[in-house]
Amino acid sequence: MKLVVAVVQDQDSNRLSNALTKHNFRATKLASTGGFLRSGNTTFIVGTEDALIPQLLDIIRDNCRSREQLVSPISPLGGNADSYIPYPIEVEVGGATVFVLPIEQFHHF
């Protein structure tokens, strides 16, 4: 048994949720915020059998794509203003960060 924790950008959240449901994966969906851009993310928590991990990772990979986006950096709060960039920059966002953890026990009541 494995616990999969997938952090995805909000733009990919509905597409991934629908794909997981279509392939009979139960998932808990949590709102989260990224630390770098402080933008909205969704964290999916999925418990599944070891044999289904490749299928689950394929579903996540197929539904969470990275893309380029212009962002305005947040001004430094009490930090060094020398490193602050006052104009929008293009960064890569999206995709998924996925953790696969072993589970000793699983109970469904």
Give DSSP secondary structure letters for 11-66.
HHHHHHHHHHHHTT---EEEEEE-SSS--EEEEEEEEE-GGGHHHHHHHHHHH--E
The pTM assigned to this predicted structure is 0.75
pLDDT in tens, 68-101: 766 666 655 555 555 555 677 666 666 899 999 9
**Residues ≥6 apart with Cβ < 8 Å to 30:** 42, 43, 44, 45
pLDDT score of 27: 95
Tokens 């998924």 correspond to 96
pLDDT score of 73: 62
pLDDT in tens, 45-77: 999 999 999 999 999 999 998 777 666 666 555
pLDDT score of 1: 93
- Measured CA to CA in angstroms, residue 48 lies from 7, 15, 36, 56 at distances of 17, 20, 30, 9
